[in-house]
Amino acid sequence: MHGALFVAKTGLSAQDTQLKVISNNLANVSTVGFKKDRAVFEDLLYQVQRQPGADSSEGTQLPTGLQLGNGVRVVGTQKLFQTGEMQVSEEPFDVAINGRGFFQVTMPSGELGYTRNGQFHVNADNELVTTEGYLVEPAITLPAEVQTFTVGVDGTVTAVVAGSATPVQLAQLEIADFVNPAGLQAIGQNLFIETAASGAPQIAVPGEAGTGILRQGMLEGSNVNSVEELVNMITTQRAYEINSKVISTADEMLSYVSQQL
Amino acid sequence: MDKVVFIAMSGARENMLAQQAHANNLANVSTTGFKTDLAQARSMQVFGEGLPTRVYAMTERPATDTTTGTFIQTGRTLDVAIDGGGWLAVIGADGKEAYTRSGELQLNAANQLVTGSGLPVMGNGGIPIAIPAAEKVDIGSDGTITIRPLGEAAAELAVVDRIKLVKLDEQSIYKGVDGLMHVDDGLPQPPDLALKLRSGYLESSNVNAVNELTSIISLSRQFEMNIKMMKTAEDNSTAAAKILQLS
């Protein structure tokens, strides 16, 4: 059949994937701590139809050959870890990381997950948990009658309880850093898990070893730029249309053959 | 019977090949750093007895259009676009040096600087670039990679390597079957220290969608004309057969 049909088909499916990536980014435009994805395109192998440089006679060579490309594919998606905009929420249980690093969360499976979403809550047992109810690691249990809850820039968690003027130090928050954060696997719920590509987590006290400091009462917004995504969406749509135009042209050519001959 | 039908067929067949080349360009309209493949037709004479009329068509790829695509700002430090006519030296799947302008660089688990499709980027020293664990990686306009090692103060910056940028002779480069550019003799090229790159930008595909689509439409019409010729040849031959029919 017509080679152009299959080539244009690869174009359509790549643009389809691209649109899915863009729409997922846009859907998460207000997800706290969300990191956007980008589809990476690559041209497929070329087939040598006529070898360039082959001898056309003894002593003469074909100056050019014919190598036909086979289209395009999405070679992968890249997570982009640029920092999102910091939003002031004034909520004592909201903590943002200014710098690299992730909060550690104990997932129901017992494994550790990593997140940049610092929207914490207190559960019925007075433990500090994420919005999903997963325990923050290291586990922090608040005393019963907390009046103020403070997270220092270096991760020290202190609280003032009713009837006492001196604050008590409850725990020390730690953050995990990765050599290659882009290699982390996103598993949804704003969580990432460690992979061979990301390397093992390096646990540090905030502010040490370049891991960034904590900011209480702030949240890191999604790093999706909706204008950028919409522009990408328009170019994706146009690229899709052009490729479908190739398919219809190739189809018309083939139908012309079968009708005329 | 006149063999005009074979001439027409060669035209139609080569039109289809050219169309695939243009379709491939259009499929890569959003591939970073992609370079348009040109397709042209050439006449291939096969003269035999009698009138020298047998000229078949042949589609070929004379070259790749290496004009620069549009720069797109991404703001990501590891995205690089090359100013002017230089190329990024990478190590192709065959282990040899190859060249690309697709600058979606990233770090892999082995701390190597690789392209979006995972090919190691070459340093000026002729070995792939490895970047130790760093808090921040910056790529200067001449390709120098500066890092702030993990846990070090802002004053403790370290220069790791310099990305190998080369200037290639347009006459001696060709696009290989892996989609990367190669030089005719296959020898590693010396780095050109005058070349500049921009971090935070990507070079878009240089495919001109309107051009390609127009070529596709015009090729499609040419194809129809060739089919029409085949039809005419068939009609002629039917007519001839009719005249000679007995009874």
Q: Are residues B105 and B160 in the same domain?
A: yes
Q: Are residues B38 and B122 in the same domain?
A: no
CA A51 to CA B88: how far, in whole Å? 26
What is the model's pLDDT at position B1? 55
What is the model's pLDDT at position A114? 94
Closest-approach residue (CA) in chain B for A67: B61
B150/chain A closest Cα distance in angstroms: 6
Average pLDDT, chain B: 88
Q: Are residues B103 and B123 in the same domain?
A: yes
Q: Least CB-CB distance to A100: which of B62, B135, B224? A: B135
Q: Are B227 and A48 within 8 A, CB to CB?
A: no
What is the model's pLDDT at position B36? 92
Q: Are residues B136 and B35 in the same domain?
A: no
Residues in chain B with CB shorter than 8 Å from the CB of A253 are: 16, 19, 220, 223-224
Q: Which helix (H) or strand (E) holds A254?
A: helix A226-260
- Residue B117: which domain range? 70-201
Q: Least CB-CB distance to A46: which of B102, B179, B228? A: B179
β-pair type (B173-175, B55-60): unpaired
pLDDT in tens, B194-223: 999 999 999 999 999 999 999 999 999 999
Q: Per the omega criterion (within 30 degrees of 0), is the bond before A201 cis? A: no
Q: Are residues B179 and B223 in the same domain?
A: no
Its ipTM equals 0.81
A217/chain B closest Cα distance in angstroms: 25
Whether the predicted model's global pTM rises above the 0.80 cut: yes
Task: Give the confidence band of B59 by pLDDT, cuts at 50, 70, 90.
Answer: confident
Q: Are B223 and A253 within 8 A, CB to CB?
A: yes
A252/chain B closest Cα distance in angstroms: 8
Q: Are A11 and B26 within 8 A, CB to CB?
A: yes
Q: DSSP character for B217? A: H
Q: Are residues B58 and B74 in the same domain?
A: no
B44/chain A closest Cα distance in angstroms: 12
Domains in chain B, number: 2
What is the model's pLDDT at position B247? 66
pLDDT in tens, B156-167: 888 989 999 999
Q: Are residues B6 and B36 in the same domain?
A: yes
Q: Structure tokens of B148?
A: 């702030």
Beta strands in A44-174 (DSSP E): 46-50, 55-57, 60-61, 66-69, 72-79, 86-88, 95-98, 102-106, 112-115, 121-122, 128-129, 135-137, 146-151, 156-161, 168-172
Q: Are residues B174 and B141 in the same domain?
A: yes
Q: Are A180 and B107 within 8 A, CB to CB?
A: yes
Q: Are residues B134 and B172 in the same domain?
A: yes
CA B205 to CA B202: how far, in whole Å? 10
Nearest residue to A95 (alpha-carbon basis) of A149, A133, A18: A149
Q: Are residues B112 and B184 in the same domain?
A: yes
Q: Least CB-CB distance to A41: which of B31, B106, B216? A: B31
Q: Are residues B58 and B135 in the same domain?
A: no
Residues in chain A with CB shorter than 8 Å from the CB of B63 are: 64
Q: Are residues B6 and B114 in the same domain?
A: no
Between chain A and chain B, the number of residue pairs with CB atoms below 8 A apart is 197
Task: Give the confidence band of B80 by pLDDT, cuts at 50, 70, 90.
Answer: very high
Closest-approach residue (CA) in chain B for A79: B106
Q: Are A41 and B133 within 8 A, CB to CB?
A: no
- Cβ atoms of B150 and B182 within 8 Å: the answer is no
Task: Give the confidence band of B48 by pLDDT, cuts at 50, 70, 90.
Answer: confident
Q: Are B177 and A67 within 8 A, CB to CB?
A: yes
- For the ranges A230-234, B146-150, B180-184, B190-194, the lowest mean pLDDT is seen at B146-150
Residues in chain B with CB shorter than 8 Å from the CB of A252 are: 220
Task: Give the confidence band of B46 by pLDDT, cuts at 50, 70, 90.
Answer: confident
Q: Are A8 and B26 within 8 A, CB to CB?
A: yes
